[in-house]
Amino acid sequence: MAPMTQAAANPLDPKSLLEQAFEMEDEFPGPAEDLLLSWLLSLGADQPPAEAAQTLLPRYAGRMEGKSDTLPIVKLHKLLEQVAVSPPATARRGRLSGRMRRGA
């Protein structure tokens, strides 16, 4: 018997966290913030979160129509919208790295 093959993971949702949550719709228990953080941490280092969110949002937008703002799934969608418009993170130089750079 041949082993079952699993479909390749979506690099924009590597652990299918968002997909599973949005499939649950009103049954998603939350908390939305925890799931969003888990999703952000699952992204590859070379994947900008804003671009991933912009690409994924249209998949879930239609599911949110007519839903109460108090539902955790609606909160998750709103958080994803915020990620989609967030500027990219920039590396910050600390005092130590500046000293190291100067050889002090």
Read off the pLDDT of residues 45-71 as tens digits, 9 standing for 90 and up.
999 999 999 999 999 988 888 888 888
**Could you state, in order of their start, the residue ranges of all structural domains in the chain?**
17-87
- The whole-model pTM stands at 0.74
Q: How far is it, in rounded angstroms, from Cα 14 to Cα 32? A: 18
Q: Which percentage of the chain shows pLDDT scores above 70?
A: 79
Q: Residue 10 pairs with which residues in a beta bridge?
A: 13
pLDDT at 61: 86
Residue 5: pLDDT over 50: no
Residue located via tokens 């079952």: 4
Residue 103: pLDDT over 70: no
